[in-house]
Amino acid sequence: MGTVVVGTILAAAVVAVIVNLVKNKIQGKSSCSCGGSCGGCCNCHKE
């Protein structure tokens, strides 16, 4: 029973993180820490 509860909580946390990342992507926010001036950062936008 405890395994099911912990698994459910863990799955909910993972889903919440993914939803947050998708919302930020849709709103144009970046996970890059350079604040948009990427000339001075360490290759955070490698493609």
pLDDT digits (tens, 9 = 90+) for 4-36: 999 999 999 999 999 998 888 887 776 565 555
- Helix ranges, 1-47 (H): 2-26
pLDDT attached to residue 2: 93
Residue 46 has pLDDT above 90, yes or no: no
Q: Which of 26, 44, 27 is nearest to 35 (CA)?
A: 44
pTM of the model: 0.58
At residue 45, the pLDDT reads: 55
Q: Which long-range contacts (CB under 8 A, 24 or more apart) does 13-19 make?
A: none
